[in-house]
Amino acid sequence: MKQKIITVTIILMLIPIISYAKVIAPISSVTSTLQKYKQDKLFLIDTRSKEAYDKIRIPGSLNFPLHAIKTKPFLKTKPVVLINNGFSTALLKQECSNLNQKGFKASVLTGGLTTWRHQNGPLEGDLIEANTFSLVSPQDLFTEKTSGDIIVIDASKKPDQGIKKQFPEAHNLSSLCDNYPSNLCASVVNQIKTRPDSSILILNQDGKEYETIENLFSKANIGPLFFLEGGLNSYETYLEHLSLSQKPREERLKTIGNCNTCGKKDSENENKLNEKEQ
């Protein structure tokens, strides 16, 4: 019997391959923002998707896509604070700078909703959804990796060469702390506290046991934290897709032979065709 060969096009996500230069934009701390928020002296603009906003939000905040803010002249009447989950700030800072050139008084909320929650800022909606604020997608990490100020913590129970390869600057807790994972060592705590404006990103190989790690940092009074969804495995898969998406279409085609599933489907189709002919 002739071998059946089928050609399958790998369908990839539409991945924006954009490099954002580091932009200096005005920032607003949660403490000062909370004070002005209670006095109704600013607009809080939540730039997340409508779906995410509808699930949970800051009471009284407004939900606009980032690109649409400049079309709302009424927002020029008070200072505007731009908000998202808090890790991915490159786009916010870029648009914040653009808005200020157009007559707005815009700033970016430091740490976003993650820090807002950490400092007990008011929230409404499905409060369980607040647990998702601190999750960082592989795509967001790729975007922010070169433009953001990030402290990367490898929380693996033993040194992981894959993480070291992708994040040479990562602090491996098992190498630095003798009693890890029971306790954090003073050297790591001190290093983190010398960079109070940096985002702290926790990752391991598979993205599991993050809750245990969060509790460990909480005992050391360190937070808020961000966590890479799916760990290194997810990030490497994203990079593979990204690399493939940049190749010509012809190279994104795979020829698959001896595919058990495909052969089964072909056989089923042939049987149906024979039944119709009979």
What the chain holds in terms of domains, given with CATH numbers, is: 22-129 (3.40.250.10), 134-253 (3.40.250.10)
pLDDT digits (tens, 9 = 90+) for 122-171: 999 999 999 999 999 999 999 898 766 899 999 998 888 999 999 999 99
User: What is the residue-wise DSSP string for the chain?
Assistant: -PPPEEEEEPP--------PPP----EE-HHHHHHHHHTT-SEEEE-S-HHHHHHEE-TT-EE--GGGGGG-GGGGGS-EEEESSSS--HHHHHHHHHHHHTT--EEEETTHHHHHHHTT---EE-GGGGGGTTEE-HHHHHHHTTTS-EEEEE--SS--HHHHHH-TT-EEHHHH-TTTTT---HHHHHHHHT-TTSEEEEE-SSS--HHHHHHHHHHTT----EEETTHHHHHHHHHHHHHHHTS-GGGGEEEEES-HHHHHHHHHHHHHHHHHH-
Residue 265 scores a pLDDT above 70: no
pLDDT confidence of residue 271: 53
Higher pLDDT, residue 251 or 29: 29
pLDDT digits (tens, 9 = 90+) for 96-126: 999 999 999 999 999 999 999 999 999 999 9
Picking from 209, 59, 212, the residue whose alpha carbon sits closest to that of residue 124 is 59
Residue 267 scores a pLDDT above 60: no
pLDDT confidence of residue 252: 67
Segment 167-183 mean pLDDT: 90
Residue 29's pLDDT band (cuts 50, 70, 90): very high
pLDDT confidence of residue 77: 97
Segment 29-54 mean pLDDT: 97
Residue 4 scores a pLDDT above 80: no
Of 28-37, 39-48, 127-136, 142-151, which range is least confident?
142-151
pLDDT confidence of residue 22: 57
pTM above 0.85, yes or no: no
Higher pLDDT, residue 8 or 157: 157
Higher pLDDT, residue 101 or 16: 101
Of 2-11, 47-56, 154-163, 265-274, which range is least confident?
2-11
pLDDT digits (tens, 9 = 90+) for 193-225: 898 888 999 999 999 999 999 999 999 999 999
